[in-house]
Amino acid sequence: MNRTQCKCDENLKKDFENCSQSLEWLKIHYDIKKLDNMRNDYQQLCKIEIADQQQWITKQRKQIERDLMRTFPNEPFFQQKQGKEALQRLLYTIAIYDMGVGYVQGMNFLAGALLYHSEECVAFWNYVTLYERLQLRDIYLENLPGLSKHIQIVQLLCMSQQRKLYDLFLKNNVQFENFCIPWFLSMLAMVIPIRSYNLVMKPMILSRWIFIYKLILSYLQNCELNCEGPELLMELTSQTHKWNQCIPLAHNLNLDKKFIDLMLESFDQDKQTFLIK
């Protein structure tokens, strides 16, 4: 069988082999020597069926099944039965991992991008790494309370660093949530080409939200916006080919880490604002 996933390592021949990059991501947060134990833990999570939560489980499975067809529809791996079933199991296990959140649309792209490089177990624990280090629970909870924090920070950064663009958005009533919400829910996996997502995983794990802000700012800065009115948002979100170009640019963008850390720590989710003393 020819591998229909990533081509990171020439020696990988079969689907669900772990490429070296996926294992490097895993090592950042976990002891790779315990991988066999992690496989067992993942298998146990896969098998969980909670007797008094059948309605919840049915709801999760139905939403996951609907989203399978929408996840990287042009990638052969995700059109094959083997790939679909693996992604389905992975998404269900992600839902079980934090039942207070469950499955949320957008997770399918992030999980799929990780599965593209590895076996299910490694994809799952790399997902958990991002989930914990970036505190993704806040953005996936009902009513998406954590999203406002990150949207406001991107808006402030754009206002301070790209004022002309910010004023253009203001003039044309383009709200940052109109384009940021799907980007954040998928951790940009729905817009960054899947073959390039490996280039952003390590900096996201190490630099957390700062690298994501850098990447979004780089994209906004490099979009060529030639229209106004309702078409402006469509033009902004349609230039997906720009994301590849923006990954190296993001590494060279300077942001004040101390200020951003302060903003992240001082956000009041109930009041949806920053409380800086």
Q: How distant, in Å, are the alpha carbons of 7, 32, 214, 250, 251 from that of 25?
A: 17, 10, 20, 19, 18
Instruction: List the CATH number of the domain containing 254.
Output: 1.10.472
Task: Give the pLDDT score at 2.
Answer: 77
Match 């990171």 to its residue by tokens: 8
pLDDT tier, 48 (very low <50, low <70, confident <90, very high otherwise)? confident
Indicate if 182 and 212 belong to the same structural domain.
Answer: yes
Q: Is residue 270 part of a domain?
A: yes
Q: Range of 29's domain?
A: 20-133
Q: How far, in Å, CA of 202 to CA of 28, rounded?
A: 9
Q: Give the domain-ending residue among 133, 155, 173.
A: 133
In angstroms, the first-to-last Cα distance of the chain is 60
Q: Is residue 245 part of a domain?
A: yes
Reported as a single tens digit per residue, the pLDDT across 66-100 is 999 999 999 999 999 999 999 999 999 999 999 99
Among 53-57, 80-84, 155-159, which stretch is predicted with the lowest mean pLDDT? 53-57
Indicate if 123 and 41 belong to the same structural domain.
Answer: yes
Task: Give the pLDDT score at 1.
Answer: 55
Q: Is residue 189 part of a domain?
A: yes
Residue scoring higher pLDDT (172 or 226) = 172
Indicate if 157 and 83 belong to the same structural domain.
Answer: no
Q: How far, in Å, CA of 171 to CA of 165, rounded?
A: 10
Q: Give the domain-ending residue among 79, 104, 133.
A: 133
Reply yes or no on whether the pLDDT at 201 is more than 60.
Answer: yes
Judge whether 122 and 26 are in contact, CB under 8 Å: yes
Output the pTM of the full model.
0.93
Indicate if 112 and 52 belong to the same structural domain.
Answer: yes
Mean pLDDT over each residue of the chain, to the nearest integer: 92
Nearest 5°: phi and psi at 53? Answer: -125, 30
Task: Give the pLDDT score at 189.
Answer: 96
Indicate if 33 and 150 belong to the same structural domain.
Answer: no
User: In this structure, what DSSP letter does residue 18 have?
Assistant: P
pLDDT tier, 143 (very low <50, low <70, confident <90, very high otherwise)? confident
Reply yes or no on whether the pLDDT at 125 is more than 90.
Answer: yes
Q: How far, in Å, CA of 55 to CA of 53, rounded?
A: 6
In degrees, rounded to 5, the angle at the alpha carbon of residue 195 between the alpha carbons of residues 87 and 209 is: 80
